[in-house]
Chain A
């Protein structure tokens, strides 16, 4: 089980932001962090991986403290049993796709497992290409395969399928879900896509300006908007210089709603909107 409590002062576009988050996560679960850009999701993943230091709090995984103040503990990233897919992929440019995936395996190389991952991610034809020769989607699948090759007990996924086209994304969501369940890998997923959260996550936390505003099952947080006219789901709420921008999604379309005052909605709410006016 993971026990996490982080406090961190973060620099954001609208000035400094105090991040304060606390949750427990059962082994084998997939938890999604959902929220607008700048709400602190990626920073939480980086603090779990040991790439960023919290100002206060505590982090333990399977009974072992990874970060804490009393006594002062800070496991280096190399000693934390976690894999990570970075938002910018962070592939090694001098290695081929195959070598990048094998780099995830550590000193014990298993070419058969690499081949399986190449197939799973539909990369077999590109095994000997270098990242600079790949499209964004192909690079992202390579990064995901490299993280899976690590077989870490904790997997951190930062927008892992954002660069995929719709059909590939849905196929990969199914395969990834199956892989995570078969290997019982505990996963923390950062995503902007409620569909992806519903497909992959067992639980979702909604983050706004460094705070959890909702915690529940994806189906509860994101009930499917019906086909009825004017029914929209609130996907994101973001504070900008001009006021508030809400991203709304119906069964057929998405739109952005700008208001001067913060609307009395929560992310995931289903609202009625008369778009004709």
Chain B
């Protein structure tokens, strides 16, 4: 079995999860601070990937970053960033596609914290940033783990989106999920099974670890 698609899938999932933590956690916090009348608009946008077929997102990604648009040409010619049929394109698409898996649990956990925690921190002289780092984040650790695990597992299992915008370039965009498809196409079921078993084992192991760790997490008062 060629292990490169497995390594590439793990690399993509780890990078996308890291970026999702950096982007999704502040986004979830901002959402808790947003006025209630406009919040549903942002919630709907963030959660679109949950209901849209991946091909729709893939299609607009192709349209937005292809050579036919000013943005696509600018990224390629000025910034030197090729987003279609490249690993970096897969990272960006994975971040967008898995955003709700990180934002939703973190947002729910932040909203579940009593306001008095934040208020006590302010009265103790904590700035908003210090309150976020020292009070809010430590008390939503289970949600951070849940968000990270679901985002990681979701990226690991992507197929339609990555096939549309990444294609099937060995060593660049050929992920484990695409390798399974390749093996089935040439009727090599044993080869497909090897990749499938690795993905199944990885996903199950990650979920088990997350649920076990979260079971031991203390409850916020």
Are A and B co-members of a single complex? yes
A binding-site residues for B, Cβ under 8 Å: 49-51, 76-78, 80, 82-84, 86, 88-94, 103-104, 106, 130-132, 146, 150
Interface size class of B (residues with CB under 8 A): 20 to 34
Determine which of A77, A78, A88 lies in contact with B116 in the assembled complex, contact meaning CB atoms within 8 Å. Answer: A88
* A51, B123: Cα distance in complex, Å: 8
Cα–Cα distance between A93 and B221 once the two chains are bound (Å): 7
A5 CB, min distance to chain B CBs, angstroms: 22
| A and B contact pairs by CB, cutoff 8 A, 17 listed | A50-B122, A51-B122, A51-B123, A77-B122, A80-B123, A88-B114, A88-B116, A90-B114, A91-B120, A92-B120, A92-B138, A93-B139, A93-B219, A93-B220, A94-B139, A132-B219, A146-B124
Q: Assess whether B29 is interfacial by the CB under 8 Å rule.
A: no
The verdict on B43 contacting chain A, using a C-beta distance below 8 Å, is no
**Bound form: Cα–Cα A42–B103 in Å:** 34
Taking a contact as CB atoms closer than 8 A, the residue among A77, A94, A130 that contacts B123 in the complex is: A77
A93 to B121, CA, bound (A): 12
Known: A86-B116, A93-B139. A49 touches B221 (CB 8 A): no
With A and B bound together, what is the CA distance between A196 and B101 in angstroms?
51
Whether a CB of chain A sits under 8 angstroms from the CB of B181 is no
Partner of A90, one of B120, B125, B218: B120
Q: Within the complex, which residue of A77, A131, A132 is in contact with B119, where a contact is CB–CB below 8 Å?
A: A77
In the bound complex, what is the Cα–Cα distance between A88 and B119 (angstroms)?
A: 12
* B218/A82 in contact, CB under 8 A: no
* Residue ID in chain A nearest B131 by CB atoms: A78
As a 0/1 sequence over residues 105 to 129 of chain B, the CB contacts with chain A under 8 angstroms (1 = contact) are 0000000001011011111111100
**Complex CA–CA separation, A136 to B179 (angstroms):** 58
A131 to B122, CA, bound (A): 19
**Do A131 and B120 touch across chains, with their CB atoms under 8 A apart?**
no
Q: Does B15 contact A (CB under 8 A)?
A: no
* Chain B contacts for A92, CB-based, 8 A: 117, 120-121, 135, 138-139
User: Which residues in A have their C-beta under 8 angstroms from that of B125?
Assistant: 78, 106, 150
Report the 4 A-B pairs with minimum CB-CB distance, sorted nearest first: A90-B120, A90-B116, A77-B122, A94-B138
Determine the chain B residues whose CB is within 8 A of the CB of A89 once the complex forms: 221
Residue of A90, A106, A130, A132 with most chain B CB atoms under a 10 A cut-off? A90
In the complex where A90-B114, A94-B138 touch, is A51 in contact with B119 (Cβ < 8 A)?
Answer: yes
- Give residues of chain B (76-133) contacting chain A, Cβ–Cβ below 8 Å: 114, 116-117, 119-127
Closest chain-B Cβ to A192's Cβ sits at a distance in Å of: 19
What is the chain A residue whose CB lies nearest that of B127?
A: A78
- Chain B positions 193 through 221: 1 when the CB is less than 8 Å from some CB of chain A, otherwise 0: 00000000000000000000000001111
In contact, A84 and B221 (Cβ under 8 angstroms): no
Complexed CA–CA distance, A132 and B220 (Å) = 8
